[in-house]
Chains A and B, each alone.
Chain A
Amino acid sequence: MAPLDGREMMLAVSREIPGAFERLVSVYESRIKAAVARSISDRSSVDDLSQEVLLRLYRARARYEPTARFETFLYRIIFNLCVNHTQYQRRRRTLPLEQAGGYGESDFSTLPEDENAPSPIEDVAREERGRIVRAAMEQLPENQRRALQLSRFEGLGYEEISEVMTLSVQAVKSLLWRARENLRHSLGSRLGNYADA
């Protein structure tokens, strides 16, 4: 028997089938935690937010309509929770984001730049590459960064991202293109070396 997909699992939960929610938690726990971890900066909140995502899924079971992909429904919950969490964290900060090293500004001049750094493909360890790319991503405006995460890491298409972010498909394409262009410019020569290689 083929394994249930997300929509079927959620339908089983909505019909109060015993064990359905336990199964959904088991299947999606890792994926939800990963998506939350990508979306927020403080790791200490990942478990709490992931649990809240699952609880919201459970509480929404009675009104769940299997019209869209389950993943779109799921990522919309994750997206909204993480946006709210980020805004809450931002309000709590006492330092302005620029001073705190946050990602409120699009000033790519502050990216680490080392002329003598070896090219990523040859000598720089994956960890170092990750740090540089993450720093560049954190400089992106929030909407661009979230759209890029949904596209690159969660594997959502333009239309799915538009549903999650409640934007038009064209607006999503525009966000994604600008995010990629900003990253291309900020990563500059490193990217050139990588591309040539």
Chain B
Amino acid sequence: MHERDGIRLMEYLDGTLSAVERQDVEAWLAVDAEARRTLAEHRALWTLLDAADTAPAADTSEEFRRRTLERAREPAFTSWKPRAVALIAASVLVGVVVFAWHDAASHSTLAAEDVAVVGNLDLLEDLDFLEQHADVLDASVLAGVLREFPAAEAPKGAVLAPSDVPAERRADLPADLPADLPADLAEPR
């Protein structure tokens, strides 16, 4: 028998069908011997299940009630220890997190001038090199470097006009040389 039909038979036995649904089932039973036999066996089974009830008919005891009421009066937490341990653990955890965050923040903070130095570290190293060897460098090389790194800041921040380049080298300067030259680079020592 299909489960859907079986469930309908079960509902019929349990008395949960409407009047119309009951009539439908009874019409079905009238013409289906297999359904009638299944219904009879399920009805018998329902009665037989009584025999399987293992529960004691009336099991009560004064002692059971007394113990139950005693336990109900006990506070849910009989000890302060679990809460105290939880509080300490939470405090330690918060402390560790705050320390780790502060430590990381102190290592990662840079001053504005440091950021500029770090951002242009390679360039500044090159400029330092040029500065140290400017006396042997050709002015055109110097100008090429400056053209390559137009955003470079002069190590000491001062600027000079191309006219400040020594006269014997001025002829080598390209026409598109920036108007302002870092002083230390333009003026070889």
A61 shortest CB reach to chain B, Å: 10
Let me know if A64 is at the binding interface, CB within 8 A.
no
* A37 contact from B10, B44, B56, B76, Cβ within 8 A: B56
With a cutoff of 8 Å between Cβ atoms, the chain A residues found around residue B164 in the complex are: none
* A153 contact from B6, B16, B53, B67, Cβ within 8 A: B53
Cβ–Cβ contact B41 & A184, under 8 A? yes
Let me know if B31 is at the binding interface, CB within 8 A.
no
Q: Which B residues, 15 to 36, have Cβ-Cβ distances below 8 Å to chain A?
A: 16
Specify the main secondary structure of chain B where it touches its partner: helix
Let me know if B81 is at the binding interface, CB within 8 A.
no
The 0/1 profile, CB within 8 Å of A marked 1, for residues 41-80 of chain B is: 1111111110111111011100011011101100010000
Let me know if B151 is at the binding interface, CB within 8 A.
no
Let me know if A123 is at the binding interface, CB within 8 A.
no
Q: How many A-B residue pairs have CB under 8 A?
A: 106
Cβ–Cβ contact A55 & B71, under 8 A? yes
Cβ–Cβ contact B55 & A35, under 8 A? yes
Let me know if B187 is at the binding interface, CB within 8 A.
no
Cβ–Cβ contact B6 & A183, under 8 A? no
With a cutoff of 8 Å between Cβ atoms, the chain B residues found around residue A34 in the complex are: 55-56, 59
A47 touching B64 in the complex, CB below 8 Å, given contacts A34-B56, A134-B52, A191-B48: yes
- Interface size classification for chain B: 20 to 34
Cβ–Cβ contact A191 & B59, under 8 A? no
Let me know if A143 is at the binding interface, CB within 8 A.
no
Cβ–Cβ contact B59 & A195, under 8 A? no
With a cutoff of 8 Å between Cβ atoms, the chain A residues found around residue B67 in the complex are: 51
Let me know if B131 is at the binding interface, CB within 8 A.
no
Let me know if A157 is at the binding interface, CB within 8 A.
yes
Interface stretch, picked from A3-11, A82-90, A100-108, A172-180, is A172-180
- Tell me the bound Cα distance from A47 to B60 in angstroms: 10
- Tell me the bound Cα distance from A181 to B45 in angstroms: 10
Cβ–Cβ contact B55 & A153, under 8 A? yes
With a cutoff of 8 Å between Cβ atoms, the chain A residues found around residue B69 in the complex are: 21-22, 25
Binding site for B on A (CB under 8 A): 21-22, 25-26, 29-30, 33-35, 37-38, 47, 50-51, 54-55, 58-59, 120, 126, 129-130, 133-134, 136-137, 148, 152-153, 157-158, 173-174, 176-178, 180-181, 183-184, 187, 190-192, 194-195
Q: Can you name 20 extra interface pairs (CB under 8 A) apart from A26-B60, A51-B67, A54-B72?
A: A25-B68, A29-B65, A34-B56, A35-B55, A37-B54, A55-B71, A120-B51, A126-B51, A129-B51, A133-B48, A134-B54, A136-B52, A137-B49, A152-B46, A153-B49, A176-B10, A180-B42, A194-B44, A194-B47, A194-B48
